[in-house]
Amino acid sequence: MRLFAICAAVLIGSNAFAEGERAGDFDYYVLALSWSPGWCATEGRDRDARQCDPGSGAAFVLHGLWPQFEEGYPSYCRSSVRDPSRAQSAAMADVMGSDGAAWYQWKKHGRCSGLAAEDYFATARKAYANIAVPKPFQALARDLRLPASVVEEAFLEANPGLSRESVTVTCEGDRIDEVRICLKKDLAPRRCGADVRRECRLRDALMERVR
């Protein structure tokens, strides 16, 4: 009996991070904006991603719009809706960098929204358009070393509707990786869950120039 209780506790405790949850069952969204030059420098060029082509001008691109629980997140959800066509995925390349990225984000996260593929992509595009990328980062002309907190401050200044509790900056190694913004289902800003607010505290994080 005691062994059964222990196993049940483990299963319940890990449920927030399971896969294959029911589509549409989530609490809020995380809008993830990836710093494209950093991603391209570490892995993107090996993937032949369009956003890494010289002259692409890609800066902060839409990594994804992720359904989120108050703790943890659903993924690869069970859904009866149709997957996007190649044309629908390709149409997201201008904001997501490639059609492959759009397809992967749909498969892992989009299905969990409970929306049709067309509506999910439209919602992701709208969320991305609602956030102003600070002007200094739109066409960064040289590599920078700066505190990650400066990136957060810049987004707060450019987006007065955001609060410190709704924005977090992440790093990968010594590089600025992403800006993540927490949104209600209607895309209004909201406080991030504790597991999302794992802020980068580097004081000399690298931001490669836009190419």
Q: Tell me the residue type at 127.
A: A
Task: Provide mean pLDDT across the span 74-92.
Answer: 95
H or E element that contains 9: helix 2-14
Whether the per-residue pLDDT at 171 is higher than 80: the answer is yes
Rounded to 5 degrees, what angle do the CA atoms 150, 151, 152 make? Answer: 90
Task: Provide mean pLDDT across the span 151-174.
Answer: 97
Q: Residue 5: its pLDDT value, please? A: 39
Rounded to 5 degrees, what angle do the CA atoms 72, 75, 77 make? Answer: 130
pTM: 0.88
Average pLDDT over the chain reads: 89
Gap between the Cα atoms of 161 and 157, Å rounded:
9
Gap between the Cα atoms of 120 and 110, Å rounded:
6
Task: Provide mean pLDDT across the span 54-82.
Answer: 94
